[in-house]
């Protein structure tokens, strides 16, 4: 049995990463039963223990600090073409004039609101941005409404859906001029007791990359979302990711 821990992420990520795994297992003709475990944990310590507690593998951002010091095998081939590194700014629609700014330094003066235990918070701080890190995503959106933060940076693949599903949807929007980017590859972490699975996944990823199958699956899930976000029309702030190994930084 292969238990894939697929919790603590948006539905679009859950669906895509599960389909990637199914594609790879099919490519390698692996017939073990696949269990998709979507249990979510509010405690970062619990999240960091999922492999020790029996999961076979998970998909997460490379350099995830919740797993530092724990034993796992990293499959160092990105699953989603850096898509998680693109962040859009969710703002209160009554205060959009605050973002009529022209320089990166101007935007850096704005206060980013990031939910507690998200890896992005420390990354933003290390890049010189002021951050309020607190509560859940819903609670942070309420802080945005109440002007306790200026914006909430959310993944380009998730921001629109987060607004649509929020009780504050009529008060929030995506700022249209700016985007933030930092290297944030999604990779598999595999249970250290399953080196066979890690090896097979690495081979399958290389094969599906060469065949174009991985690109096709990526486009199926994310192309329209990224086109709608108009990434190429935006001014971009580039941040460093101090938690990544040099392997991922070209």
Contact 79, 222 (CB under 8 A): no
Q: What pLDDT, on a 0 to 100 scale, did the predictor assign at position 246?
A: 80
Place of tokens 């392997």: 247
Would you state the pLDDT for residue 116?
87
Write down the pLDDT at residue 14: 94
| pLDDT on residue 249 | 74
Tokens read off for 67? 């797993």
Per-position pLDDT tens, the chain of length 250? 999 999 988 888 999 999 999 999 999 999 999 999 999 888 889 999 999 999 999 999 999 989 999 999 999 999 999 898 999 999 999 988 888 887 888 888 899 999 988 888 999 999 999 999 999 899 999 999 999 999 999 999 889 989 998 999 999 999 999 999 999 999 999 999 999 999 999 999 999 999 999 999 999 999 998 999 999 899 999 999 998 988 887 6
47/173 Cα distance (integer angstroms):
31
119: number of Cβ within 10 Å: 18
Q: Residue 45: count other Cβ atoms within 10 Å of its Cβ.
A: 9
- State the pLDDT at residue 120: 87
Please report the pLDDT score of residue 99 as a whole number.
87
State residue 200's pLDDT score.
97
CATH class of 83-181: alpha beta
State whether the Cα torsion 143-6-64-212 is positive or negative: negative
- Going by CATH, does the domain composed of 2-82+184-211 fall within 3.40.190.10? yes
Q: Which segments of the chain belong to CATH 3.40.190.10?
A: 2-82+184-211, 83-181
CB 51 within 8 A of CB 19: no
**What is the phi/psi pair of residue 155, to 5°?**
-55, 140
pLDDT confidence of residue 250: 61
Q: How are the residues of the chain apportioned to helix, strand and coil, as percentages rounded to the nearest 5?
A: 40, 20, 40
């Amino acid at each position: 049995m292969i238990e894939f821990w697929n919790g603590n992420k948006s539905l679009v990520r859950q669906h895509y990463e599960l389909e990637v795994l199914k594609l790879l297992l099919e490519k390698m003709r692996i017939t073990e039963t696949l269990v998709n475990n979507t249990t979510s944990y509010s405690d970062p310590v619990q999240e960091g223990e999922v492999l020790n507690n029996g999961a076979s593998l998970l998909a997460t951002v490379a350099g995830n600090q919740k797993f530092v010091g724990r034993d796992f095998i990293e499959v160092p081939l990105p699953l989603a073409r850096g898509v998680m590194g693109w962040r859009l700014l969710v703002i209160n629609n009554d205060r959009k004039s605050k973002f009529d700014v022209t320089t990166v330094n101007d935007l850096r003066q704005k206060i980013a609101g990031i939910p507690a235990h998200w890896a992005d918070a420390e990354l933003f701080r290390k890049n010189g941005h002021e951050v309020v890190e607190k509560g859940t995503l819903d609670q942070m959106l309420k802080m945005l409404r109440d002007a306790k933060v200026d914006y909430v940076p959310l993944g380009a693949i998730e921001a629109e859906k987060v607004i649509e599903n929020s009780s504050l949807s009529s008060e929030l929007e995506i700022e249209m001029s700016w985007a933030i980017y930092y290297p944030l590859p999604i990779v598999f972490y595999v249970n250290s007791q399953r080196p066979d699975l890690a090896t097979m996944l690495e081979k399958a990823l290389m094969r599906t990359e060469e065949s174009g199958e991985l690109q096709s699956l990526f486009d199926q899930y994310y192309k329209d979302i990224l086109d709608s976000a108009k990434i190429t029309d935006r001014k971009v702030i580039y941040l460093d990711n101090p938690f990544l190994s040099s392997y991922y930084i070209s």
